[in-house]
């Protein structure tokens, strides 16, 4: 029952952990749109290198000049009579011509320009340097990637996705490029330019650059959701590992407890066995006591062990031995007599110290005649034994022998054996009396 409760509690905990992980994952999904975007300001930039250029040097119509350099206000003035080719603004990026800025971590170019011109075409372009197609000697060898700003695009803050940029045809046509290099590359942008060259209306065409920046998400949507999935599954995995470690620990603790209990149980069992044995034995002679004898006989199925005979032994004048030699020597006599009795009994016989100097031998499969013979043999043996070397002692015993019939109780047979013993004592001791009653 307790195990069942424990199990249902861990199932509940498991559900809770999964629900928490799901809620946190859902929160992460929602949080994505609130993560501020990554932003890199290119202009105004204290270290930015920028300059104006025009086609006046090659006989063109345009002259570029700063109206207010501090405010990044510049102008292209076109002479109506000459051909307009190019006029614009360049912002050098990176440290040297071949080492630009990696735009690929961003997704958009943000242009905040104040257009004070009626020019139809304003081109924003990027130059990407790649040794595969660029050389330091050829200033035109970096990819020319462009986006044309139409009058209708002119917002206070124009956002141009990099996917809207394309490679300029004139640049492509000048070189034979392998396929991978015929698409815009953004990993090493060395220059950003704003060109109002061709078809520029006559007169002043001004642009004020408020700022130019790159923006993009810190994490792509794909990576963000992948991260959430990884978070969810690693959370689940960690939880499962935690649960399995905890369960393993508990299982080890429980196994230890069971082991201790088993040890305790074995100790108790051993102690009980010892105590049981003690309770069945006489402390002085080591023979069974009355209780031990009763237990042994209880195991028997009397008809199967019949005939059964009882021999009751009693040391003669034992009081005298005690009185003359002391109780210690009396004890030694009891032990010796017990030893002789034990040596003369068979394995199936049950021998006990019945009282002070009384012994009872129960013999299965033995008639009273046979029991009488055994008893007599023992009596002779006890009589002939040497008890003390210094001051010799002769010990005699009296015996009463009776049969235990299948229908009779042990007590009944015992009483009759005792009667016979009494008669043996009365006959002068050191003899045996066999019951005459027909059982």
Residues at the interface with ligand GTP (CB under 6 A)? 284, 314-319, 322, 327, 330-331, 334, 356-357, 425, 429
Per the CB < 8 A criterion, the answer to whether 25 and 32 are in contact is: no
The stretches of 281-345 forming alpha helices (DSSP H) are 290-298, 302-305, 318-325, 327-343
Of 142 and 433, the one with the shorter C-beta distance to ligand GTP is 433
Nearer to ligand GTP, 206 or 282 (CB): 282
Query: Smallest gap, in angstroms, from Cβ of residue 335 to ligand GTP?
Result: 10
Cβ atoms 100, 129 nearer than 8 A:
yes
Q: Could you tell me the sign of the dihedral formed by the alpha carbons of 292, 295, 300, 306, in that order?
A: positive
Q: How far is the CB of 343 from ligand GTP (least distance, A)?
A: 20
Taking the complex as a whole, the smallest distance from the CB of residue 340 to ligand GTP amounts, in Å, to: 17
Report CA-CA distances (Å) from 177 to 141, 162, 180, 181, 214: 11, 21, 8, 6, 28
45 vs 425, beta carbon nearer ligand GTP: 425
CB of 255 to ligand GTP, least distance (A): 51
Q: Which is nearer to ligand GTP, 281 or 317 (CB)?
A: 317
Token pair belonging to 407: 């229908």
Determine contact, residues 319/307, Cβ cutoff 8 Å.
no
Closest CA to 395 of 357, 343, 352: 357
Residue nearer to ligand GTP on the CB measure, 54 or 418: 418
The distance of closest approach from Cβ of residue 435 to ligand GTP in the complex, given in angstroms and rounded to an integer, is: 19
CB of 431 to ligand GTP, least distance (A): 12
- Residue ranges in 47-189 assigned as alpha helix (H): 169-173
**Dihedral sign computed on CA atoms, order 85, 90, 96, 100:** negative
* Residue whose CB is less far from ligand GTP, 127 or 353: 353
């Amino acid at each position: 029952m307790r195990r069942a409760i424990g199990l249902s509690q861990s199932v509940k905990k498991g559900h809770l952990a999964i629900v928490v992980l799901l809620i946190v994952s859902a929160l992460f999904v929602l949080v994505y749109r609130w993560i501020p975007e990554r932003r890199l300001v290119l202009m105004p930039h204290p270290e930015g290198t920028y300059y104006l250029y025009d086609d006046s040097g090659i006989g063109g119509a345009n002259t570029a000049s700063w109206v207010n350099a501090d405010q990044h206000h510049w102008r292209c003035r076109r002479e109506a009579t000459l051909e307009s080719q190019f006029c614009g603004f360049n912002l050098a990026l990176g440290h040297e011509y071949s080492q630009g800025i990696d735009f690929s971590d961003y997704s958009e170019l943000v242009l905040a320009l104040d257009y004070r011109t009626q020019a139809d075409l304003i081109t924003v372009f990027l130059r990407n340097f790649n040794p595969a197609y660029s050389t330091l000697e050829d200033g035109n060898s970096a990819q020319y990637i462009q986006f044309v700003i139409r009058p209708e695009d002119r917002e206070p803050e124009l956002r141009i996705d990099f996917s809207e940029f394309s490679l300029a045809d004139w640049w492509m046509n000048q070189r034979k490029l392998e396929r991978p290099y015929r698409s815009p590359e953004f990993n090493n942008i060395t220059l950003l330019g704003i060109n109002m060259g061709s078809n520029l209306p006559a007169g002043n065409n001004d642009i004020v650059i408020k700022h130019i920046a790159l923006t993009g998400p810190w994490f792509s949507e794909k990576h963000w959701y992948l991260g959430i999935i990884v978070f969810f599954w690693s959370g689940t995995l960690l939880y499962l590992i935690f649960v399995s470690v905890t369960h393993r620990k508990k299982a080890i603790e429980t196994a230890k407890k069971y082991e201790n209990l088993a040890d305790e149980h074995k100790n108790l069992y051993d102690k009980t066995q010892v105590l049981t044995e003690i309770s069945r034995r006489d402390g002085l002679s080591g023979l069974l006591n009355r209780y031990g004898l009763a237990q042994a006989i209880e195991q028997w199925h009397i008809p199967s062990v019949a005939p059964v005979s009882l021999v009751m032994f009693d040391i003669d004048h034992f009081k005298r031995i005690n009185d003359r030699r002391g109780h210690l020597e009396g004890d030694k006599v009891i032990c010796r007599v017990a030893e002789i009795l034990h040596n003369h009994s068979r394995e199936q016989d049950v021998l006990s110290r019945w009282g002070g100097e009384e012994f009872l031998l129960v013999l299965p499969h033995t008639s009273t005649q046979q029991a009488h013979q055994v008893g007599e043999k023992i009596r002779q043996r006890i009589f002939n034994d040497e008890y003390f070397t210094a001051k010799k002692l002769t010990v005699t015993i009296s015996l009463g022998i009776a049969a235990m019939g299948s229908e009779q109780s042990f007590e009944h047979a015992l009483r009759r054996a005792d009667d016979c013993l009494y008669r043996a004592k009365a006959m002068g001791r050191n003899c045996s009396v066999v019951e005459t009653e027909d059982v």
